[in-house]
Structure 1
Amino acid sequence: MKKLSLLALTWPIFIEIFLHMLMGNADTLMLSQFSDNAVAAVGVSNQILSVIIVMFGFVAAGASILVAQNLGANNPLTAGKIAVTALSLNLLFSLSLSIFLFVFSTRLLHLMNLPIELMSEATGYMNIVGGFIFIQALIMTVAAILRSYGYTKDTMFVTVGMNIVNIIGNYFVIFGPFGFPVLGVEGVAYSTMTSRFLGFIVLLFILVKRNKGLLPFQSLYKYNKQHVKDLLNIGIPSAGEQLSYNGSQMVITYFIAQLGTVAITTKVYVQNIMMFILLFSIAIGQGSQIIIGHMIGAGDTHSAYKRGMKSLQISFIISLFAAVTIYFSSEFLLGIFSNDATIISEGKFLLLITIILEPGRAFNLVLINSLRGTGDVKFPVIVGIVSMWGVAVTFAWFFGIFLGLGLVGVWIGFICDEWLRGLIMLKRWRSKVWAEKAYVKKEVEG
């Protein structure tokens, strides 16, 4: 394996995540030119689908760590077996969920209290995108595996291609150029699935080409019990943490809804802007996880420790600089979204205290990913769940609702949660308890 560089791994991951954000919003943005009802129908459907997509991530998360560690241990054949097994497991799991979404789409939408005038379009979208959601699961798995091999540029370029296909498809079905039939929501669903299907085919081709002879396809149906066990041991806690985070954010959003429409709108705009800060730490965290996984597999815990600390320093500095820059540009940035003086004023103050929040979040995103790279996955999950609900949710209610501080109180809850977890993760990383958590030991395959 080539020597992995954090910069070489990170910048494609950064662009890929950024493009995934754009792709997720492309349908909504282009449908806004078609009708408000179409936007609402797709928006509610995507809320349901986003929860399902998080569930697919547990196999991909396990595969990325195990593949990286086995490659570091010079076990490329084992890495290939795990990669193929992960694809098979996620295909079976995601197919069952696709069938569930297709059969129960109307009932799920009724549970969301969707207005009757939106039901037809939302059901059509759910049947198509939800019925083929297994393709997204396969994309996530193949992309995670390729990144663990160090091929982050490949996944980035495929994401670029998927965005282009999706946008072109949306243009044709929404605006109907050259006499093309205007299909609205149904057409957008077909466009989304076509771009995903083509993206998966290209990713699979790249994976096979890059690892010729090292992907034993009999592992599609002939499972190694230990490989499956390790995938689940790593993946399920990781998915549990993400589901817990989504759940805690939904509860906090419920609190904010009590503050009124302006508060909800301000939160949405501010968090959209904050995502540009967050992207740096996410990319550095994922790049660090890959490198540390390789180092742990090679038995080089000293270098792994240094890599984690160095990545944290880089992410901390970039997050702080980005947060300060965003704050001094806040009036302009918020003005892009709204001309409401109240929203701009409160949003500007929230972006000011975000300068305190984001460096704390950098601790979590980098060190939790670093711990995952070593195989230490359960500790961050336990701490995360306790802090998300015991600190973020509780403090958001206490300061924001009970004491009447509004969104500032909610942000205080966010700050306390991120910094508490971050400092605990730093103590865990410095303790080097994770050195004994590796799922593989260095051994050369015969």
Structure 2
Amino acid sequence: MEKEGVYVSKTQQKKAAKLTLFALTWPIFIEILLHMLMGNADTLMLSQYDDNSVASVGVSNQIMSVIIVMFGFVATGTTILIAQNLGANKRQRASQIAVVSICANILFGLLLSFVLFFFGESILSAMNLPEELMDTALIYLKIVGGFAFIQSLIMTLSAIIKSHGFTKDAMYVTLGMNVVNVIGNYIFIFGAFGAPTLGATGVAMSTAVSRGLGTVILFIVLYKRVKGELPWSYLTKGFPKRELRDLLKIGIPSAGEHLSYNTSQMVITYFIASMGTAALTTRVYALNIIMFALLFSVAIGQGTQILVGHLIGEKRHEEAYQRCLRSLWIGMSVSTFAAIIFAVFREEILNIFTDNPDIIQLGSILLLLTILLEPGRAFNLIVINSLRAAGDVKFPVYIGILSMWGVAVTISYAAGIWLGLGLIGVWIALILDEWLRGLLMLRRWKTRKWEKMSFIDNEEQGSDEEKEYAQ
């Protein structure tokens, strides 16, 4: 057993040594691109059916984005803890965290699915949704939200697999989910092959089915890749207090920043809803388009988080510091270039989604403003991920709450409604918020206070059994 433990450890060390930003990031990039294409496929195919359905699904997905953040507090803690423990060669500890996180998110997912299914109408009403959109939005939310626990599993399984360096596996699963989703959309939106024409309901069904199949495949991948290192029997030895404590210690503050952002976006959506259905629809189209510029920073941020986590676990702080800065400039440059491309071809792109001249005109202005928005978002996606990976998880929450509500929400109302600038005022508020938070996060990283916040350095020493296993 001891020889086997030594063999596994050396093999994993060699694998970790080969991890590079590019090797980790390009599969993550493709995976996120495919996730975005799934959402855009829903929007594009629904736009051929009905603009009101697009707005209904957009508002419902705004709610789902908050729910996904709730699942993310476990997934984020899982990613950081596993990466740091693998870097420190504490493999048994990483394995225990993995099995506990899977079970924790299943239970949490079932609870939130119950809330969305039975209280969906009250939530939509609280968002000031126009009456003509309510029925469609509610059906969509009940189907997708009722199966929200599946998304919680996807996030947790994917986090475990990617933390071990198998980012390509998650990419392939997402590709398969996209294929199933698009085929389902085609069948149920347009009534192909004699199927009923269901519109947004068909989109919801396709989304639920594709995610369900994706979950099954991810379990198979997990079983294949890290089977021998996942001690399921550990769950029978008593309540996993230590692992849950560690997951919550990192996950809750990390999720707090995301939750604050998504909740503030829901309030801003409430403001936009008062501007009319056309404004809501324009926002949905604009966000779906600029997500393609954003994904570069998202992918680089996630890849950097895994690398920084491993480096922190190995106590290679200077390399972690430089890794974040290099990733930041790469992310800013690429995402800004992509935003410029979309701005240049803004009318042609918007014409793919709609022929409404008012939506095209307003959407074009938003795409121009996105050139200023994307560099600021790169700060948050890359530097914040690095801070979390190093163990500095509270500072982003404090700054995020102050800026999102003090800048994004406040100025959205003041400029968008009070001054009458509409969506343009909202976009200006978002630009100011992203840049303020981004610059403050960069300043925090350069202070290097995170060097003393490593979770590995601060946690209790493992049991004698763990130490023997790592030797």
Q: Same fold by TM-score, threshold 0.5 exceeded?
A: yes
Matches of 1:356 and 1:117, distance apart in 2: 35
Query: What aligned pairs does 1:386-397 form with structure 2 within 5 A after superposition?
Result: 386-397=402-413
SS in 2 for 1:213: helix
Inter-CA distance 392–117: structure 2 relative to 1 (3 Å threshold): closer
AA of the residue aligned to 1:21? M
Q: CA RMSD in A?
A: 3.0
- Once the two structures are overlaid, the 10-residue window that deviates more, 247-256 or 88-97, is 247-256
- Contact 2:324/2:382 (8 A) holds in 1: yes
SS in 1 for 2:450: helix
- In the alignment, is residue 249 of structure 1 matched against residue 274 of structure 2? no
- In the alignment, is residue 99 of structure 1 matched against residue 110 of structure 2? no
Report how many aligned residue pairs link the two structures. Answer: 446
Match of 2:442 among 409, 421, 426: 426
Which residue of the partner structure matches residue 299 of structure 2?
Answer: 283
Matches of 1:258 and 1:110, distance apart in 2: 13
- Once the two structures are overlaid, the 10-residue window that deviates more, 270-279 or 218-227, is 218-227
- Once the two structures are overlaid, the 10-residue window that deviates more, 301-310 or 177-186, is 177-186
Unpaired runs of 5+ residues, structure 2, are 1-11, 462-466
Which residue of the partner structure matches residue 401 of structure 2?
Answer: 385
- In the alignment, is residue 84 of structure 1 matched against residue 99 of structure 2? yes
- Once the two structures are overlaid, the 10-residue window that deviates more, 330-339 or 120-129, is 120-129
Match of 2:39 among 10, 24, 34: 24
SS in 1 for 2:165: coil
- Once the two structures are overlaid, the 10-residue window that deviates more, 167-176 or 353-362, is 167-176
Which residue of the partner structure matches residue 149 of structure 1?
Answer: 164
Matches of 1:348 and 1:42, distance apart in 2: 22
- Once the two structures are overlaid, the 10-residue window that deviates more, 93-102 or 429-438, is 93-102
Matches of 2:409 and 2:240, distance apart in 1: 41
Query: What aligned pairs does 1:335-346 form with structure 2 within 5 A after superposition?
Result: 335-339=351-355, 343-346=359-362
AA of the residue aligned to 1:163? N
Matches of 1:260 and 1:113, distance apart in 2: 11
Matches of 1:440 and 1:309, distance apart in 2: 23
Inter-CA distance 173–404: structure 2 relative to 1 (3 Å threshold): closer
Matches of 1:162 and 1:382, distance apart in 2: 36
Matches of 1:393 and 1:107, distance apart in 2: 22
Matches of 1:185 and 1:348, distance apart in 2: 26
Match of 2:312 among 296, 299, 309: 296
Matches of 2:331 and 2:351, distance apart in 1: 28
Match of 1:169 among 172, 184, 197: 184
- Contact 2:55/2:280 (8 A) holds in 1: no
How far the C-alpha of 1:376 sits from its partner, in A, is 0.9
SS in 2 for 1:212: helix
- Contact 1:85/1:223 (8 A) holds in 2: no
Match of 1:58 among 73, 77, 80: 73
- In the alignment, is residue 129 of structure 1 matched against residue 154 of structure 2? no
- Contact 1:256/1:264 (8 A) holds in 2: yes
- Once the two structures are overlaid, the 10-residue window that deviates more, 123-132 or 369-378, is 123-132
* Cα deviation code 1:242-270 (max 9, x no counterpart): 22112222333344455555554444433
Which residue of the partner structure matches residue 305 of structure 1?
Answer: 321
- In the alignment, is residue 7 of structure 1 matched against residue 32 of structure 2? no
How far the C-alpha of 1:310 sits from its partner, in A, is 0.6
Matches of 2:409 and 2:422, distance apart in 1: 14
Inter-CA distance 219–123: structure 2 relative to 1 (3 Å threshold): farther
SS in 2 for 1:150: coil
Inter-CA distance 110–88: structure 2 relative to 1 (3 Å threshold): same
State percent identity of aligned pairs: 61
Matches of 1:184 and 1:208, distance apart in 2: 37
- In the alignment, is residue 445 of structure 1 matched against residue 460 of structure 2? no
- Contact 1:62/1:234 (8 A) holds in 2: yes
SS in 2 for 1:211: helix
* Cα deviation code 1:161-219 (max 9, x no counterpart): 11112222333444555555666666554443332222111111111211131111023
AA of the residue aligned to 2:145? G
Matches of 1:408 and 1:113, distance apart in 2: 20
- Contact 2:390/2:451 (8 A) holds in 1: yes
Matches of 2:123 and 2:425, distance apart in 1: 33
